[in-house]
Structure 1
Amino acid sequence: MDVTARLGVASGDVTLATWPNLHGDWAPVVHPTLLEAIGLHAALSVAIDALRLANHLADV
């Protein structure tokens, strides 16, 4: 089976990875990429919050 991991963003879908012809239990192959995507989301959320705080402090 072909497996593709996609991330939906405001501008459309972004392909994170594609694994062609996976057989059997493909979770150990795909799971690390999904964990990386979750980590990236968390890091971007922290960066957005930090930028908002910095802009707020600059306006004060």
Structure 2
Amino acid sequence: KATWPKDLATQVTLLRDMLAQSPHSAESLAAQFKRKPLKGVNEVLSALAALGQAQQDDDHWRLVR
């Protein structure tokens, strides 16, 4: 498993790339990284949603196209 990046830009890029492949829950995204950084993943997803780039449908997130 990969290590959750420390810098925000890399975190955003990684999650956008993952969501571009298919919708994911925050839990499944966090599970892709060592120590399962759910808090950090949720923060990035919330930021993407605030910018209109991601949307949550039930428990899954997807990119807004």
Whether TM-score is above 0.5 comes out as: no
TM-score range, shorter chain: 0.3 to 0.5
Q: Relative contact order: is structure 1 or structure 2 higher (C-alpha 8 Å, sep ≥ 6)?
A: 2
Higher strand share: 1
Higher helix share: 1
Using the size of structure 2 for normalisation, the TM-score is: 0.33
Larger gyration radius, structure 1 or structure 2: 1
